[in-house]
Amino acid sequence: MSDTYHFQVNLGGMLDVLSNHLYKSPDVFLRELLQNGVDAITLRQKSQPDWNGGKITITVEPGRRLVFRNNGAGLSEEGIHRFLAVIGQSSKTELVNGKIPEDYIGRFGIGLLSCFMVSDSIVVHTRPAVGGAAHMWTGLPDGTYALEPLEECPVGTSVILTAKPGMEHYFQHRKVAELVRYYGLALPVPVYLSGNPERLNSIPADFTGISRSQLLSFGEWLFEEEFLEAIPIQTPHISGVSYVLPYRTAPAAKGRHRIYLKQMLLTERGDTLLPPWAFFLQCFLNTRGLRPTASREDFYEDGALSSAREEFAAAVRRHLAQLAEEDPDRLKGIVSVHAEAIKAMAVWDDELFQLFIDYLSFETSEGLMTGAALKRAGEAVWVHSVPKFKQLKPIFMAQGRLLTCTG
């Protein structure tokens, strides 16, 4: 009979994987702390339905120390041993049929380790909301930890980090505020810097009832652009707003989006969520029901993601169709700037082709003509190749026939 052994984990090697391969930047430590804080508050709200005072407070000692406090569920001594000291074990797991409920952000149980990228120790003060003693847990990057009782500690959890050499710039008020707004702007839980009553994160939960001018003002504040149009998005998987850029963009251009998963920033790239023709849009979107990769920097490709992509395309199509009916001059202005993008959309979508064909301009043997003019012109020959069009154009002009280039 063979013996059974347990795997051993080299924590130093794990930290190298996290910092050099899984996470793109050390600043994700603050994203992970925000995520854990919101999930702890969600857990307390589930156990105490009448309680709604959740908040996160961050205290910064410039260049030296950071205290990240949430007044959520807290941890008991058993919970500390089970969740803080076991890599890959999340406190959100096994609450509902052994799975993580959809209203929690975290999934993998490795987020706290990201703090070792900026600090040589992680100190946790915690007291459970359900009652019980408070404890102080101190974790070190060599895989050891210490646990001792704590007298003075309010309900909830504080994570205390001390800046390690070279990481002092993350321990500044301005940098912390910047990262909170970047990663957690859409979070429902208020986040404050200690001593400052101004909430760092505050935006509408639903953009469908907001006026166009308000949406455009929000987009200008967030992206520092004066957009041509704002398209509210509200679907089963996506909510937010999509903006039409005020200048032409190439299909290969990578949009600087803000795409969130469960109200926590996931990515600035839209490659996996947005359709290929959406390169003329810049989006602020929150998603639900989609799966993140382990690094929480992109979406996992599955049926839900495909549905979300189709929902987004349908929402944009509906808005543009509404513009064609209610404000054709505004739509004409969009088409004049983004003709190539609109043509790309039309290739993918017959409905969009029918919607835009009248507004699009095409090079012909008689000069530029709109789709509406071509409809009235009657018979025409179409070629896609630009070189072939240039070759045939003199012949068609001499014959008095109409040649149109669709390339």
Give pLDDT, residue 104: 45
Three-class secondary structure of residue 71 per DSSP: coil
Same domain, 84 and 162: yes
Q: Which residue has the tokens 């071509």?
A: 374
- CATH number, residue 232: 3.30.230.80
2 assigned to some structural domain? no
289 assigned to some structural domain? yes
pLDDT tens-digit profile of 197-256? 999 998 776 777 789 999 999 999 999 999 999 999 999 999 999 999 999 887 777 778
pLDDT tens-digit profile of 350-397? 777 777 778 888 889 888 888 888 888 878 888 888 899 999 999 989
Separation between Cα atoms, residue 298 and residue 294, nearest integer Å: 9
Is the pLDDT score of 290 beyond 70? yes
DSSP conformational letter for 18: I
Same domain, 45 and 155: yes
Same domain, 41 and 172: yes
Residue 58 near residue 68 (C-beta atoms within 8 A): yes
Separation between Cα atoms, residue 96 and residue 261, nearest integer Å: 20
Better-predicted residue by pLDDT, 344 or 151: 151
393 assigned to some structural domain? yes
Kindly calculate the radius of gyration of the chain based on its CA atoms and give it in whole angstroms. Answer: 27
Same domain, 139 and 155: yes
Same domain, 121 and 162: yes
Is the pLDDT score of 309 beyond 50? yes
Same domain, 70 and 167: yes
6 assigned to some structural domain? no
Residue 138, φ and ψ in degrees, nearest 5: -120, 115
DSSP conformational letter for 299: B
Same domain, 336 and 322: no
Better-predicted residue by pLDDT, 357 or 281: 281
H/E stretch holding 182: helix 173-184
pLDDT tens-digit profile of 141-171? 887 889 999 988 999 999 999 999 999 999 9
303 assigned to some structural domain? yes
Domain boundary among 295, 327, 359: 327
Separation between Cα atoms, residue 397 and residue 79, nearest integer Å: 82
Cβ burial 22-40 (10 Å sphere, 16+ → b, else e): bbeebbbbbbbbbbbbbbb
Same domain, 15 and 119: yes
Same domain, 226 and 299: yes
- CATH number, residue 87: 3.30.565.10
Same domain, 121 and 233: no
Same domain, 285 and 236: yes
252 assigned to some structural domain? yes
Range of the domain at 117: 11-193
* Tally of domains within the chain: 3
Residue in 179, 124, 183, 184 with CA at minimum distance from that of residue 156: 124
pTM for the structure as a whole: 0.78
Residue 302 near residue 291 (C-beta atoms within 8 A): yes
102 assigned to some structural domain? yes
Angstrom distances, CA of residue 289 to CA of 89, 101, 172, 300: 21, 10, 35, 11
Domain boundary among 193, 223, 248: 193
DSSP secondary structure, 207-265, as one string: -TTS-HHHHHHHHHHHHS---SEEEEEE-SSEEEEEEE-SS---TT-----EEEETTEE
The neighbouring-strand residues paired with 122 are 139, 161
The neighbouring-strand residues paired with 397 are none
> Letter for the amino acid at 346?
A
Same domain, 28 and 174: yes
Dmax over CA atoms of the chain, in Å, equals: 96
207 assigned to some structural domain? no
Q: What is the mean pLDDT of the chain?
A: 85
